[in-house]
Chains A and B, each alone.
Chain A
Amino acid sequence: MNITTTEAGRVPLDGLDELWFQVAGTRCNLTCSHCFISCSPHNDSFGFLSLASVAEMLAESVERGVREFYFTGGEPFLNPELVEMLVLALEYGPATVLTNATVLKDEWLVRLRAAEERGPFSLEFRVSIDGPDAATNDPIRGAGTFGRAMRGVELLVQHGVLPIITMTRTWPDAEDQQVLGRFREVLAHHGCDRPRLKVLPRLLIGAEVARTCGYDETDRVSVRMLEGYASDQLICSHSRTVTDRGVFVCPILLDEPSARLGGTLAEAGQPFRLDHGACVTCYQYGAICTNPSAQAFEQMVDEAGEGGAT
């Protein structure tokens, strides 16, 4: 299939299932060499969101029938108002926070677990660790980060949290089982004996371009590639991301000016053109950002329109 000369496909927003909050902007205490938005202690491209702006967007998204909320960064826990934001979000629906688990504090976890227990909704902690040992993880995430993340996992477990561990695949696909098996052993050793593991594909943008390589200009999702494709596998069909610089199509394409769709959720409801290399990775793997509990319908097998469930 020649996709170099064909027009990029467009994906409409079918409904706002997930609302993402870029609460820490591009500020992170770590400088991971594969970060797709190049977060670091010094990257101020995107700033912190305020509690007031999050509260406003939560209310607006509820009007639109939102299902759940994700809080990301950078490192979300660098935002001093994050705990308040999560407590507020849990009044409306389920919430997930994506953290590197290196800056967690007991008092925050006590408050968050109490808030979760008060209502009916889950609070998920997604912890990024990029290998089952320091030798694999630390070259990517920084010296000593594996040990610090494991101490964070221990703290979460002490507070009754069952974390989702996410790892970017920096090993050959064929080694998945071996790596996941090793992950389970190591996590169990640290008291986390019921982890949910989520493997993420590498996104060849941001810092990853310097670490390995970027996308080729021919890496685009064309109109033709979307024919017969279940586009609900792409989060742009059911999600938007709130930043301090407006509403973006997804949490991945923050460095792309065309990914900013407006200043409000209403403005950001327009279709999105898949004119970026990273869209190909999303297209290939599907559901790379959502939690396993929400992922099943996106993996629906579409037998060329035959026998599809209604």
Chain B
Amino acid sequence: MKLAFFGGLYSNYLALEVAIADARRRDVQELFCLGDMGAFGPHPDRVLSVLRDAEVSCVQGNYDDSIGNELADCQCGYTDPRDNLYAEISYGYTLANTSRENRRWLQQLPGSMDIERNGMRIHLCHGSPRRTNEFLWESTTSDAFLDRLIEPTGAELVLGTHTGLHWTRMTPRGRRFVNVGVLGRPANDGRTNVWYTLVDVAERHAGQAGQGVEVEFVPLEYDFRRLADEMRQEGLPGEFMATIETGWWTTCLEVLPSRERRRGRH
């Protein structure tokens, strides 16, 4: 059974439209989004219409919680004043351009979701199973910690997003964690494509030890030039467009662990 998972949309409705079409071409049966619909990109209402029209099941991210409840900030928890300045600009723009109806829709999204497909228990969250805005970076998340986080969920497979970088690991106790990546901006690798994740859960057969799960990270090309043009027209900071057009992150860098930071240019 094929499932598609989208993370961190950041208002990139153009990438979301392409991702949905791509997933359908691959015979995906269900679509999920793990939150942070707004931020960074233009016209935040558009991505929400696309999600609803395609019947994507959604989990609330910290940004959605903030916009939905009109909180003072995005709860991203940046530590650097420069990052916080950009976060403020982005949050102010997104809040001002999200309709009341959509704010209400974001407000009512569940903070997590537990599903069972082909007999496999799957937990969907935004940051980590215990915190919506907890960063699970590949290089700062030990195996033992992953098992401790997953244990209370009772799931065999846990999926999250939030960091912007996709990765997966099997824990010593045989559970799998997947960070599904984000559709909102490139993965700080100098390429303009974004990423989403396909999960194929095999049918469980009686007497069979273990159950097959295939995880595939899908690179997705979309019209990034059009996105950057629309961001420019909306008066968003040039640093944001630079990320979209070059594939290198220009903001939110202080929270990156050294290993992930080393892979980038800035």
Name A's B-contacting residues (CB within 8 A). 15, 17, 61-68, 92-94, 116, 120-125, 160-162, 164, 176-177, 180, 194, 196-198, 291-301, 303, 306-310
Contacts and interface: CB of A to CB of B under 8 A. Distances in A.
A176 B260 CA distance: 27
7 contacts: A17-B145, A65-B144, A92-B143, A94-B142, A122-B259, A301-B72, A309-B111
B71 A297 contact: no
B60 A121 contact: no
A62 B146 CA distance: 11
A310 B257 contact: no
B79 interface: yes
Given A122-B139, A301-B71, 18 more contacts: A61-B144, A62-B142, A62-B144, A66-B142, A68-B140, A122-B259, A177-B81, A196-B261, A292-B255, A293-B135, A295-B77, A296-B133, A296-B135, A296-B255, A300-B131, A303-B69, A309-B65, A310-B132
Interface of B: 60, 62, 65-66, 68-69, 71-73, 75-81, 107, 110-112, 126-128, 131-135, 137-145, 147-149, 169, 253-262, 266
Contacts of A62: 142, 144
A66 B79 CA distance: 23
A94 B259 CA distance: 10
Contact of A300 (B75, B144, B254, B257): B75
A241 to B, nearest CB: 18
Contacts, number: 140
Contact of A122 (B62, B169, B258): B258
Given A66-B145, A92-B144, A293 B257 contact: yes
Contacts of A15: 148
Nearest to A184: B82
Contact of A121 (B79, B111, B142): B142
Contacts of A122: 137, 139-140, 257-260
Contacts of B261: 162, 194, 196
A120 B136 CA distance: 13
A34 to B, nearest CB: 22
A183 to B, nearest CB: 12
Nearest to A67: B145
A301 B72 CA distance: 9
B69 A307 contact: yes
B114 to A, nearest CB: 12
A197 B78 CA distance: 12
Given A122-B140, A162-B262, A303 B132 contact: no
Nearest to A310: B111
Contacts of B134: 296-297
A297 B144 contact: no
Contacts of A93: 141-145
Contacts of A177: 81
